[in-house]
Amino acid sequence: MDLRIGVIGTGAIGQEHIQRLNHKTQGAHVVAISDINKEKATLLAKEIGAKFYETGEALIADPEVDAVVVTSWDPTHEQYVLEAIKHNKYVFCEKPLATDSEGCRRIVDAEVANGKKLVQVGFMRRYDRGYMELKEVIENRQLGEPLLLHCAHRNPTVDKNYETPMAIINTAIHEIDALRWLLQEDYVSVQVILPKQTSYTHEKLHDPQMVILETKSGIHIDLEVFVNCQFGYDIKCVVVCETGEISLEDPSYTRVKAKGKDYTTVSPDWQSRFMDAYDEEFQLWIHSIQADAITGPTAWDGYVASITMVACGVARESGERVAISLDSCPTLYQA
């Protein structure tokens, strides 16, 4: 029988995930939705044949909802994830898990007290084919030990509400999780450099920024976050190893040769760049619920990302290299 999913927060990505669950993935469909924008959500509920709930809590409590997807605004994630744990229900939460490390820690503690992994965080880079191939080469030590990573996260433009800290909290968060997963190593320190700025930014946003991370074994990662690069959505990850180098290719299905040029296009946005990764993320989430064992990014991963982001903020303000220290990982999350 299909899993019956409830979605809390039916804005941009909530609607994309509803489409994905109802039309792209197998084994689940959306039976319930909730959003504070009642008017819009009631119409949507009618359109997709789901039940509308006045509150996320009521949706979670319904015995006819097997698992929950949280795609509401960031400050509401923690309350809904905690509520789902209270009802012993699987919950997929879009990043960030909570708006601060204390909130992430409360979720980790609640899950540990409940004794079962129920939470998956929406770090979908882990499901991108390119990252998966990089991981295989790194894990097999095919090119020897990884030594250095050169990465970039570039957006064509951002709006005026996007300010300096968001380069870490909204953008670099994806690399912070994906690179730690790729290397299977925690970070020990971070430095943030604020270089010469693009004229396309505004006074509340320092753009670009450079984040320099160091892992436990001494691997150095330089990550450029440049959110007004003008030319497209561009993700880079070059892994330099002892006997070779491996890097992400921008996925492309066609190549143009004309007027003396030979080129492929750059993705315009994150939706098109990572479309397949989102589909895979949800298909595997459904499979893992059916198998009663979550395999994706955990609440602990959400907590570690949050601690790292706090250190990045301190490093940006101080200009110094800042240590990243973690509590010991609860046994529930140890492989």
Residues of this chain that bind ligand NAD (CB under 6 A): 8-14, 34-37, 56, 71-74, 76, 94-95, 122, 124
CA 203 from chain center: how many Å? 27
- Write down the residue that tokens 């894990």 correspond to: 139
Cα separations in angstroms, 222 against 103, 138, 148, 176: 28, 18, 8, 11
- Output the smallest distance, CB 271 to ligand NAD, in A: 8
- Output the smallest distance, CB 118 to ligand NAD, in A: 19
The residue (of 46 and 220) whose beta carbon lies closer to ligand NAD is 46
- Output the smallest distance, CB 269 to ligand NAD, in A: 10
Size of the chain in residues: 335
The residue (of 68 and 110) whose beta carbon lies closer to ligand NAD is 68
The residue (of 39 and 292) whose beta carbon lies closer to ligand NAD is 39
The residue (of 95 and 180) whose beta carbon lies closer to ligand NAD is 95
- Output the smallest distance, CB 15 to ligand NAD, in A: 8
Alpha carbons 213 and 219: distance in angstroms, whole number: 8
**Cis (ω within 30 of 0) for the bond into 146?**
no
Per-residue 3-state assignment (H helix, E strand, C coil) for 182-209: HHCCCEEEEEEECCCCCCCCCCCCCCCE
Q: Are 304 and 186 in contact (CB under 8 A)?
A: yes
- Output the smallest distance, CB 274 to ligand NAD, in A: 7
The residue (of 94 and 175) whose beta carbon lies closer to ligand NAD is 94
Alpha carbons 41 and 45: distance in angstroms, whole number: 6
SS3 157: coil
Residue nearest to ligand NAD (CB): 11
The residue (of 166 and 240) whose beta carbon lies closer to ligand NAD is 166
The residue (of 13 and 266) whose beta carbon lies closer to ligand NAD is 13
- Output the smallest distance, CB 14 to ligand NAD, in A: 5
- Output the smallest distance, CB 281 to ligand NAD, in A: 9
Q: How many CA atoms lie within 13 A of 70 on its CB side?
A: 31
For residue 27, give the nearest of 276, 290, 280, 279 by alpha carbon: 290
Q: Are 37 and 44 in contact (CB under 8 A)?
A: no
Can you read off the two tokens belonging to residue 173? 């968060």
